[in-house]
A and B are shown apart, each in its own frame.
Chain A
Amino acid sequence: MRLSGHSKKNSKENITGYILILPWLFGFLLLYLVPMFSSVYYSFTNYNLLNEPRFIGLDNYKRMFFNDPTFWKSLGVTIYYVFALVPLRLIFALFIAMLLNTKMKFMGVYRAAYYIPSIVGGSVAVSIVWRQIFGNKGVIMSLLELIGIHQEVSFIGNPSTAIWTIILLGVWQFGSSMLIFLAALKQISESLYESAMIDGANGWQKFTRITLPMLTPIIFFNLVLQTINGFRAFTESFIVTQGGPLDSTLLYVLYLYRRAFTYFDMGYSCALAWVLVGIIALLTLLIFKSQTVWVYYESKEER
């Protein structure tokens, strides 16, 4: 922030700014500050939730990097998951949002229907239905059998394909990204399209020249958020596969959760958490830096 001549204006802006973020700041200090510091501290201890934490230096981190294949496995699984899920989900969400943004009958019904997967998200029903589709003797296996392809192991039971059933579950729950896109599409001014019509642009040109550029702030948002949420995903593998078979769907946070609460290894779990934060922060930073190249803002930042 550069100090210029308008120091009075600046101080007024400072006050207004802080007043506006005050509620959030209060919540942050109350809910996050101390827990953040204590979890950093725990990561250097042998805390198991029931004992007095004892300082053990970098042992947890050393164990993680040099002596815990499951850590590497779950990290690999998670990176694969995020890089497959995020683009697929965003493309699908944008595609459906474009479809639903047309003026036809029953749009409200479709919108509600497509949002339902995001509502039933973590329920028993989803895990059962997913197995009915992809599991042993499930719908897909029976269909393949019909056309003469015999499968020894189902998609969910096969360590090399199981992760894709989880990814598909994530894509299927595209509802929230779709809603955000829908809201963003509404924000684009009609007049832009009208003038494009006058210039004789076709549908595809309208999409690439108006819709897409105008959507970039929200595509950016969805990209950042879905990446972060992808790394923090937990429920998907928890309810459908419990991380199996052979840890092939063991998402990082599921492993971290088990470490903390099932194996009474909270100190180690905190270390896992902060390594994860480091990875996510790095990626987020990269996406933020890339903004200048591809994100178009109506209101330019003067930095």
Chain B
Amino acid sequence: MKKVSLSLLPMLLILSLLIVGCSQTGNVNVEPTQPAKVQPEEESSTKHVLLSITWWGSQTRHDYTAKLLEMYSEKYPHVTFESTPSGWDGYFDKMAAQAAGNTMPDIVQMDNLYIATYTKNNAIADLYPFVSNNTLDISDVPESMVKTGEIDGKLTGAVLSVTALTVPYNPDVFAEAGVSEPTPNWTWSEFEEAMLTIKEKTGKYGYASDVLSDTNLLTYWIRQYGKSLYSTDGTQLGYEDDQIFIDYLNMLYRLTKAGAMPTADEWMQIATTGKEARPVVTGDAGAMFEWANFGVIVESVNPDIKLAIPPYADNGKKSLWIKPGMFFSIAESSPNKEEAARFISWFINDIEANKVINAERGIPVASKVKEALKPQLTKQQKAMFEYLDLAAEHAGPVSPPEPAGSAEVTKAMADQINLVLYDKKTPEEAAADFRKAANEILARNAQN
């Protein structure tokens, strides 16, 4: 008797779990299965399709994207969506796990940082077949932009928006220091002088920016010498002369030591807060480096930020590049690639849809869409559009997407910059060590 009751306990527990399980599936799974129940007769010309889609963003993006999906389903009733909105944190952790389990959503929002890794491991599909059969219409997208989603001859990312590096600056701080505002053709020596003067005259930072968490500024710097950070095949660094990186480190060092740029310590303090509280925005610094949508992000706090073209090297080489903002990619494991491509095509080209998006994902790539949006833009959005037109005039060829291993190379770069700024290494040593570390990382990743 005793034994019986004893063995009952765990049984009860398992049972209760099953009950909970059943009641759960009972009441919550009703909704998604309903549409499938309504249209089970697949005799009609178009088969019912459920497309899964995921993206990262904040509340605004989640809300209007949901609206877009509804719009699309209204237009193409045989398509319904299962969407997974996400914050930026963890977005790619989740995708990696899904890729490992072969459960990636059909359509994924993809970043320049990861597209090469996913492509090289055959996790995302080549879109060229859908371009050639006209499912994916990219005729209105400039060729150079389309190419940003191409890796090893495969188009694995359909670019949604473009952006470019810029120097957002606070005109009031420039005025306060009596420094004239940047011209589109200013040089690094003018830049440095301006930053130092701002520090001298106002005590504020000249230049307050993040130089550690990505390689964009370094990439820009290296492009001035006609080289690139990574070699075309992504297996090693793309520049041979360490002097390039040494010059860069020296400039950062000079600015930091003069107090014209935050130390790593001070920057860490600044970085905890959102972009709305960057020193440039609050009037505590003159300028910084950012992407072209910066002005839009901080518009509610400071609507007067202006965007300048980054400085030129003395050789005057056009080093700016138009960067893909984000992509839509289609999972290789997706059974609905064609329908997914059709949706992406709509997302890129449809004017009504893009009026809803309202350039929140960055500047649209299709030229007709871009024109159609112009009347409804805010002041900073207009500035962003204008800046990008200007940037195109100052831009060189597009940089290849970041190769597999670039996240680790970024860390290696940050380490070396920090070691220099903390006076633990000379720029010469740091540049050599960076080369060694980066080449090892890239070679290891190329092997896999």
A touches B in complex, CB < 8 A: yes
Residues of B within 8 A of A156 (CB): 265, 268-269
Beta-carbon contact of A153 and B121 below 8 Å: no
User: Would you call A118 an interface residue if the criterion is a C-beta within 8 Å of the partner chain's C-beta atoms?
Assistant: no
Q: Flag the segment in B169-177, B287-295, B356-364, B417-425 that touches A.
A: B417-425
Q: Mark A252-296, 1 if CB is under 8 A from B, else 0.
A: 000000100111100000000000000000000000000000000
Task: Please state if A261 and B265 are interface contacts (CB–CB under 8 Å).
Answer: no
Stretch in contact with the other chain, from A98-106, A132-140, A225-233:
A132-140
Give the shortest distance, in Å, between A67 (CB) and chain B (any CB).
Answer: 9
Is A154 an interface residue, CB under 8 A from the partner?
A: yes
- Asked if A50 and B415 sit within 8 Å, CB to CB, the answer is no
Hey, which chain A residues are within 8 Å of B266, CB to CB? Answer: 136-137, 157
Determine if B37 is an interface residue (Cβ-Cβ < 8 Å): no
- Of the residues A23, A49, A153, contact of B263 by C-beta under 8 Å: A153
Whose C-beta in chain A lies nearest to the C-beta of B100?
A49
User: Which listed residue, A48, A128, A244, touches B418 by the CB 8 Å rule?
Assistant: A244
| Minimum CB–CB distance for A253 against chain B, Å | 14
Within the complex, which residue of A48, A49, A138, A159 is in contact with B422, where a contact is CB–CB below 8 Å? A159
A51 to B100, CA, bound (A): 8
- Pick the residue among B14, B93, B273 that contacts A261 (CB under 8 A): B93
CB contact list, A140-170 vs B, under 8 A:
153-154, 156-159
Interface string of B108-123 (1 = CB under 8 A from A): 0000000001100111
A263 to B440, CA, bound (A): 13
Also in contact, A128 and B273, with CB within 8 A (given A135-B268, A247-B415, A262-B407): yes
Number of interface residues of B (CB under 8 A): 39
A114 vs B254: C-alpha distance when bound (angstroms): 46
Given A51-B448, A128-B272, A244-B418, A264-B10 contact (CB < 8 Å): no
B424–A136 touching, CB < 8 Å: no
A263's contact among B14, B118, B122, B408, by CB below 8 Å, is which?
A: B408
With CB as the reference atom, state the residue of chain B lying closest to A262: B407
A205 at the A/B interface (Cβ < 8 Å)?
no
Chain B residues near A244: list those with CB within 8 A.
Answer: 264, 268, 418
CA distance A16 to B422 in the complex (A): 63
Within 8 A of A (CB), among B269-298: 269, 272-273
Query: What is the CB-to-nearest-CB distance from B300 to chain A, in angstroms, rounded to a whole number?
Result: 20
Please give me the residue from chain A that is nearest to B410 by CB atom: A262
**B18 within 8 Å of A (CB atoms):** no
CB of B268 within 8 A of CB of A136, answer yes
Give the docked Cα–Cα distance between A157 and B269 (Å).
9
Q: Which residues of A contact B9 (CB under 8 A)?
A: 19
Query: A16 to chain B: which residues have CB within 8 Å?
Result: 3, 6
CA of A258 to CA of B263, assembled, Å: 25
Please state if B97 and A138 are interface contacts (CB–CB under 8 Å).
no
B286 CB to nearest chain A CB (Å): 19
A264 close to B424 (CB less than 8 A): no
With a cutoff of 8 Å between Cβ atoms, the chain B residues found around residue A20 in the complex are: 6, 10
Measured CB to CB, the closest approach of chain B to A6, in angstroms, equals: 17
A112 within 8 A of B: no
Q: Does A235 contact B (CB under 8 A)?
A: no
Residues of A within 8 A of B407 (CB): 262-263
Given A244-B418, A246-B422: A50 in contact with B268 (beta carbons within 8 A): no
Residues of A within 8 A of B118 (CB): 50
A76 contacts partner chain B, Cβ-Cβ < 8 Å: no
Q: Which residues of B contact A23 (CB under 8 A)?
A: 10, 13-14
A89 to B415, CA, bound (A): 32
Q: Determine how close the nearest CB of chain B comes to the CB of A162; give it in whole angstroms.
A: 10
B96 touches A264 (CB 8 A): yes
Cα A258 to Cα B272 in complex, Å, equals 20
A22 within 8 A of B: yes
A173 within 8 A of B: no
- The contact string, 1 if C-beta is below 8 Å from chain B, for chain A 106-143, is 00000000000000000000011001000111100000
Q: Does B105 count as interface, using CB distance less than 8 angstroms?
A: no
Q: Does A245 belong to the interface (CB within 8 Å)?
A: yes
Which B residues are in CB contact (< 8 Å) with A50?
96, 99-100, 117-118, 121-123
A257's closest neighbor in chain B, by CB? B93
**15 sampled A-B residue pairs with Cβ under 8 A:** A16-B3, A19-B6, A19-B9, A22-B10, A48-B121, A50-B100, A135-B265, A136-B268, A137-B269, A154-B269, A241-B268, A245-B418, A246-B418, A246-B422, A264-B96
